[in-house]
Structure 1
Amino acid sequence: MRGLVRRLPGAAAVMLLAAGCGGVAATEGAEDTVPLRVYAAASLQQPFDELGEAFEAAHDGVDVEFNFAGSSTLVQQIRQGAPADVFASANPENMDKLVEAGLHGSAPVDFTANTLMIAVPAGNPAGVTDLTSLTQEDLHLVVCAPEVPCGAATEIVEQAAGLTFSPVSEEQSVTDVLNKVTSGEADAGLVYVTDVARGGDAVEGIAFPEAQEAVNIYPITTVKDSEHLELAQEFVDLVSGPRGQEILDGYGFVGR
């Protein structure tokens, strides 16, 4: 597998999929590989890495290639002709753009959800306690851009709390926000609960009640012009099925 995806021992990974995914092998032969290109929201990187490993182990000759980025960026790439087989969005709005363009191969399936959390560097040097803290004049706040799902959710919680944020930057993916917090470039950022978990000891999370006003639903679909629609549908089925849900739950995502 290229890029970000790691490999599991073959036998163990096959066992993970024994009940939930068929054993369709590549038809090109053992010497060739079939690339399955999965375009997925940046917040899905860890669970999808794990799902990709298991999918490869159960499908001889299939090479799962991930493109992780902001959902708005991914759908724009697909609409411009990028060779995607599967698209997983962090909100329905960007999935709607794909559907409106007639580029979905199957009906989108809502497969998980996520909520926002305040992320601060370890030790919380700015003393952030809640959303109101994020309006302090000297606070370096980083958020996602409005067109990105985490940015749209940020606007909702901002309005729900009756606050006005003045971020020092608006990023194109939630990963970029998290990186600025963990590196100390920002005093605080609004990311998903799952990103705080991913940040480990470098970040602390602060929950706030307004997050429930902006729960992000994640849909997934195959892409119409995929050269491997059968494999693409199998990957969608894996993600939305019991094994996929188990893995997503393990990374802090909210089950369907």
Structure 2
Amino acid sequence: MSLALTRRRAATALMTAALLVPLAACGGESDSDSKKNADAGSTAKASASGAPAADLTVLAAASLTDVFKTAGAAYEKANPGTKVKFSFAGSQELAAQVKQGAPADALVTADTKTMDGLRGDTGSPEIIAKNRLVIATGEGNPDGIEGLRDLADSKLKVVLAAPEVPVGRYSKQVLDAQKIVVKPVSQEPNVRAVLSKVELGEADAGIVYKTDAATATDKVDAVEIPDAQNAIADYPAATLKTSEHADAAAAFVSWLSGPEAQKILQDAGFQKP
């Protein structure tokens, strides 16, 4: 092999090596670097809303059952890493759970009276929604019920919530104001139980919240109660002092008053706070 050929091959090899060095420097990252960058992106996504990630348990009034399932899904989507679990019951039952130390992070009741009775157990409550009463009847209103006074008819099977339940207390309030005496065939532990009795045909009518009747339009009719005879229900929300996720609970309660949650509530028929 000639000396000239040998020198040309050596020069070519040097040039190739020189070109490969910067390419290697700019090349693909290592598996370790890739994982670090992915983790950083995940952390940024999780913290974008500013709410700490946590598994939250929220005690909520039975009348919030449907709307809060929608709200909870929306909150989880906006806050990656957070899960919201709801426990629905009558407000008086929820208050008893709080007093007994049930593990939970936040509370939403269907009246201020129940919430006020738990001042030592909660943070400062905030009204997130309002509601009103209607008379639920069987589909098509077969008994021709037109208003509160018709509920006094002894031929009708009327069901009400128990007086210690917020909707039961509101019902008593509006009936007493009109001096109407109703003898219910049963008194139920929450508004959903009242609605169920009417849905199943076990009662001819019952007083429920407007939003509850709206969840069963294929099975019940709603007879409006005039404003002058009606009662407005306030829904306060508050954190619980026993929560192990205080910041995350406060973020959720605050979110309930924000535009996204308010739209969900009002689309379901709840009134503005």
**Fold match by TM threshold 0.5:** yes
Q: Does 1:49 align with 2:69?
A: yes
Number of residue-to-residue matches in the alignment = 227
Relative to structure 1, is the Cα distance of residues 241 and 212 closer, same or farther in structure 2, using a 3 angstrom cutoff?
farther
Q: State the distance in 1 between where 2:140 and 2:258 align.
A: 39
List runs of 5+ in structure 1 lacking aligned partners: 1-17, 27-33
Give the alignment's TM-score, normalised by structure 1.
0.85
- Which residue, 91, 94, 97 being the options, matches 1:74? 94
CA RMSD across the alignment: 1.6
Bigger radius of gyration:
2
Which structure has more helix as a fraction of its residues?
2
Structure 2: runs of 5+ lacking an equivalent? 1-44
1:133 and 2:153 aligned: no
Q: Residue type matched to 2:185 in 1? A: V
1:60 shift after superposition: 2.9
Task: Point out 4+ residue stretches in structure 1 off by more than 3 angstroms.
Answer: 23-26, 210-213
Q: Which residue of 2 aligns with 1:22?
A: 49
- The alignment status of 1:254 with 2:271, answered yes or no, reads yes
Deviation string 1:128-163 (CA, Å, 9 cap, x unpaired) is 121111011121101111011100100110011110
- CA pair 111-25 structure 1, distance change in 2 beyond 3 A: closer
Partner residue, 2:124: 107
Are residues 1:197 and 2:214 paired? yes
- Cα deviation per residue 1:71-123 (whole Å; 9 max; x = unaligned)? 01001111101011010010000001111xx110x210011110100000102
* Matched residue, 2:29: none
Please give the alpha-carbon distance, in whole angstroms, between the structure 2 residues aligned to 1:136 and 1:144: 18
**Structure 2 contact 132–230 (Cα < 8 Å) conserved:** no
Residues of 2 paired with 1:131 and 1:215: CA distance?
16
Query: Do the aligned residues in 2 keep the contact of 1:161 with 1:210 (CA within 8 Å)?
Result: no
Q: Aligned pair in 2 of structure 1 residues 25, 107: CA closer, same or farther (>3 Å)?
A: closer
2:113 maps to a residue whose letter is E
Q: Aligned AA for 1:24?
A: A
Superposition deviation, residue 46 in structure 1: 1.6
1:37-70 deviation digits (Å, cap 9, x = unpaired)? 0000011112211111112223333221100110
TM-aligned CA deviation for residue 22 of structure 1: 2.1
Q: Give, in whole Å, the separation in 1 of the partners of 2:229 and 2:112.
A: 17
Amino acid at match of 1:60: P
Residues 1-256 of structure 1: matches in 2 within 5 Å? 22-24=49-51, 26=53, 34-99=54-119, 102-104=120-122, 106-209=123-226, 213-256=230-273
Paired with 1:250 and 1:221, the residues of 2 have a C-alpha distance of 22
**Percent identity of equivalent pairs:** 44
* 1-structure distance, mates of 2:147, 2:205: 11
- Looking at structure 2, the residues matched to 211 and 42 of structure 1 have their Cα atoms a distance apart, in angstroms, of 26
CA distance in 2, matches of 1:253, 1:70: 18
In 1, Cα distance between equivalents of 2:95 and 2:262: 24
C-alpha contact 1:25 1:60 (8 A) present in aligned 2: no
Q: Write the letter of the residue equivalent to 1:172.
A: P
